[in-house]
């Protein structure tokens, strides 16, 4: 019996810090698509978890299910902040909010907040129709502005691609496993409470004795 | 069996909190001073047990230990579990602050039920005592699952679907808890018989 208990203890200590039940959803933008990844703390992916996408007022916009890898992606339904809610059944749930700024930025529009700070972008955009008109008259100039615009698009595409593994890593880092310090701290709190109860008990006892 | 924040409706959360408060208050009243260290040790055990994972097919679940807490603490299982759940919610974000009451009821109520129904059988010992300890570990998890399903049912989900999902995911845990309870109780019977229910008073 003792051996069994000892081996169980070892098993628990080994398995201890690795897993627990909590569910996380993480979302990021690429172009006009929102990618989400859902996993239980400990690294198990949420399979067939229900995903609901709401706008800020709580109206349901999109509904879907995570695949075998816990992933789900959707095109931005409309330009509004999106609240992505995961229901992993049995009372496990989590939400992630994608702000309007993030969506605008990812889709190549000026973020609402940044619009006031960066009016310089506006003239650049206004120039574009003019570019097509002046194609014949000033080809050299057109080439320059056109390439500038193209470069920007190409850069964004390349960056999206290059940043993908880094976004992945961030998704993985996002998961917060219980730390050993937290576990020991929690046990400490419990024993501290017992100590507090003992202190209060003995204070009362001593008072009773003094009165007698 | 921790229900997350934002799953349950307001009334379910409030009634859970009321039941948990009542149970905790009663448990504290029943908690004699000399039982406090035991309650603290078992509370700490419960606190850590939720980190121990047992893989079940594609999914996994953790030990709950509420059956053993119930057997050894009786009504005091309520405050012991409540304290451990508060710390789990704050430190690990298991469950949540608003669902604290519901989660306490989910895990503590079956513990008390097991103590009241099986405590005496377990105290007697022998094969019946071992069977009682197994039943205690098994049914405490089973009842927890039923309460989870009830809480989800009152919010929106279909009761039988939710119950089947929760119980299906925990069937292995029930058996493991049962075996673990037997080992714990039999170990204590040899080493510290005073800790067993019935004999402790």
Question: Tens of pLDDT along B91-103?
Answer: 887 778 888 899 8
Residue A132 pLDDT exceeds 50: no
Residue B27 pLDDT exceeds 80: yes
Mean pLDDT, to the nearest integer, of A18-46? 73
Under a CB-based contact definition with an 8 Å cutoff, are residues B75 and B113 in contact?
A: no
Under a CB-based contact definition with an 8 Å cutoff, are residues B2 and B104 in contact?
A: no
ipTM of the complex: 0.75
Q: Name the more confident of A178 and A27.
A: A27
Confidence of residue B182 (pLDDT cuts 50, 70, 90): very high
Mean pLDDT, to the nearest integer, of A128-132? 47
Under a CB-based contact definition with an 8 Å cutoff, are residues B96 and B5 in contact?
A: yes
Q: Which residues of B touch A4 (CB under 8 A)?
A: 183
- pLDDT at position A77 is 82
Residue B151 pLDDT exceeds 50: yes
Mean pLDDT, to the nearest integer, of A106-111? 65
Are residues A20 and B62, on separate chains, in Cβ contact within 8 Å?
yes
Question: Closest partner residue to B2 among A18, A21, A42, by Cβ?
Answer: A21
Mean pLDDT, to the nearest integer, of A50-79? 83
- Of A87-96, A138-147, B140-149, which gets the smallest average pLDDT? A138-147
For residue A18, what is the DSSP state?
A: T
Residue B128 pLDDT exceeds 50: yes
Residue B133 pLDDT exceeds 80: yes
- Of A12-16, A58-62, A121-125, B72-76, which gets the smallest average pLDDT? A12-16
Closest CA–CA distance from residue A64 to any residue of chain B (Å): 18
As a whole-number percent, the residues of chain A with pLDDT over 90 amount to 0
- pLDDT at position B5 is 77
Give the long-range contacts of residues B124-130, CB within 8 A, separation 24 or more. Answer: B124/B198, B125/B189, B129/B185, B129/B189, B130/B182, B130/B185, B130/B186
- pLDDT at position B25 is 93
Are residues A90 and B8, on separate chains, in Cβ contact within 8 Å?
no
- pLDDT at position A201 is 85
Q: Name the more confident of B109 and A167.
A: B109
Q: What is the CATH number of domain B10-195?
A: 1.10.1760.20
Q: Which residues of A touch B36 (CB under 8 A)?
A: 194, 197-198, 201
Residue B176 pLDDT exceeds 80: yes
- pLDDT at position A200 is 87
Under a CB-based contact definition with an 8 Å cutoff, are residues B81 and B31 in contact?
A: no
Are residues B4 and A93, on separate chains, in Cβ contact within 8 Å?
yes
Dihedral sign (CA A185, A191, A196, A199): negative
CA-CA distance, B148 to B178, in Å (whole number)? 20
- pLDDT at position A14 is 41
- pLDDT at position A181 is 83
């Amino acid at each position: 019996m003792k051996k069994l208990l000892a081996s169980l203890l070892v098993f628990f200590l080994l398995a201890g810090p690795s897993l627990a039940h909590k569910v996380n959803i993480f979302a990021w933008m690429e172009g006009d698509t929102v990618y989400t990844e859902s996993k239980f703390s400990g690294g198990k992916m949420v399979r067939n978890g229900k995903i609901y996408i709401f706008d800020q007022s709580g109206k349901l916009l999109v509904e879907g299910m995570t695949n075998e890898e816990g992933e789900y992606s959707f095109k931005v339904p409309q330009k509004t902040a999106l609240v992505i809610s995961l229901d992993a059944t049995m009372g496990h749930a989590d939400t992630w909010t994608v702000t309007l700024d993030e969506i605008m930025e990812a889709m190549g529009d000026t973020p609402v907040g940044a619009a006031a700070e960066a009016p310089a972008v506006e003239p650049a955009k206004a120039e574009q129709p003019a570019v097509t008109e002046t194609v014949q008259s000033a080809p050299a100039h057109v080439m320059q502005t056109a390439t500038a615009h193209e470069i920007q698009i190409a850069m964004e595409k390349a960056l999206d691609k290059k940043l993908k593994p880094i976004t992945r890593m961030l998704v993985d880092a996002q998961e917060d496993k219980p730390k050993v310090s937290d576990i020991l701290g929690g046990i400490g709190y419990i024993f501290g409470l017992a100590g507090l109860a003992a202190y209060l008990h003995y204070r009362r006892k001593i008072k009773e004795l003094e009165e007698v | 069996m921790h229900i997350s924040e934002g799953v349950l409706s307001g009334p379910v959360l409030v009634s859970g909190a009321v039941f948990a408060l009542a149970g905790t208050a009663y448990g504290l009243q029943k908690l004699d001073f000399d039982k406090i260290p035991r309650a603290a040790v078992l509370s700490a055990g419960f606190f850590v047990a939720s980190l121990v994972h047992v893989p079940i097919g594609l999914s996994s679940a953790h030990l709950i230990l509420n059956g053993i807490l119930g057997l050894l603490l009786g009504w005091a299982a309520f405050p012991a579990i409540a304290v451990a759940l508060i710390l789990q919610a704050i430190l690990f974000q298991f469950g949540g602050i608003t669902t604290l009451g519901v989660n306490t009821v989910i895990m503590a109520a079956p513990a008390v039920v097991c103590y009241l129904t099986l405590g005496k059988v377990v105290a007697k010992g022998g094969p019946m005592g071992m069977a009682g300890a197994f039943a205690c570990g098994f049914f405490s998890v089973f009842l927890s699952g039923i309460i989870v399903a009830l809480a989800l049912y009152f919010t929106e989900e279909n009761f039988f679907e939710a119950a089947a999902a929760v119980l299906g995911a925990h069937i292995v845990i029930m058996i493991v808890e049962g075996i673990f309870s037997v080992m714990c109780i039999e170990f204590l019977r040899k080493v510290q018989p005073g800790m067993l229910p019935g004999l402790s008073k």
